[in-house]
């Protein structure tokens, strides 16, 4: 069984992607939790860290929501480089660079055990 990495209360994972979902920014918390360097993450599609337990429908909903200019929130399970996993309470939203380029920002924090249990049960029905 793979090792779960639990986020601390003060962990805040932040990443930014371009309109194609390619990572253009990853903060230190993202690198530390996922086990990758910034060089390894930047330039990769964000689904690089997606866990196989995550239903595609969840990410279809995320992309539909943020492409329409709205904020998406959800509980997400991701992979670590070492083969473990971690859960996050994610918020994703569109933003613009100072030059007007569209970007997507994702901020992730520690979810509650109840949120993880609810998401786990829901995702089983979506597979």
**Sign of the dihedral through C-alpha 21, 42, 90, 94:** negative
pLDDT reported for residue 2: 79
Query: Domain limits of the chain?
Result: 13-126
**What is the bridge-based pairing of β-strands 13-17 and 102-109?**
antiparallel
What 3-state class would DSSP assign to 72?
strand
What 3-state class would DSSP assign to 3?
coil
pTM for the full model? 0.93
**Contact present, 21 and 103 (Cβ < 8 Å):** no
Count Cβ atoms below 10 Å from residue 95 Cβ, excluding itself: 11
Tokens linked to 38: 């910034």
Write the pLDDT tens digit of every residue in 57-80: 999 999 999 999 999 999 999 999
Residue 94: name the closest of 61, 59, 65 by CA: 65
Write the pLDDT tens digit of every residue in 93-113: 999 999 999 999 999 999 999
Tokens linked to 8: 């601390």
- The CATH superfamily of 13-126 is PAS domain (3.30.450.20)
């Amino acid at each position: 069984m793979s090792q779960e990495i639990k986020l601390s209360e003060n962990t805040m994972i932040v990443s930014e992607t371009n309109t194609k979902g390619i990572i253009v920014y990853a903060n230190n918390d993202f690198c530390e939790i996922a086990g990758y360097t910034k060089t390894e993450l930047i330039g990769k599609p964000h689904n690089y860290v997606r866990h196989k337990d995550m239903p595609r429908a969840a990410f279809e909903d995320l992309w539909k929501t943020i492409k329409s200019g709205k904020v998406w929130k959800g509980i997400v399970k991701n992979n670590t480089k070492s083969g473990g996993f971690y859960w996050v309470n994610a918020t994703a939203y569109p933003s613009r660079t100072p030059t007007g380029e569209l970007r997507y920002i994702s901020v992730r924090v520690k979810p509650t055990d109840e949120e993880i249990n609810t998401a786990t049960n829901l995702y089983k029905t979506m597979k």
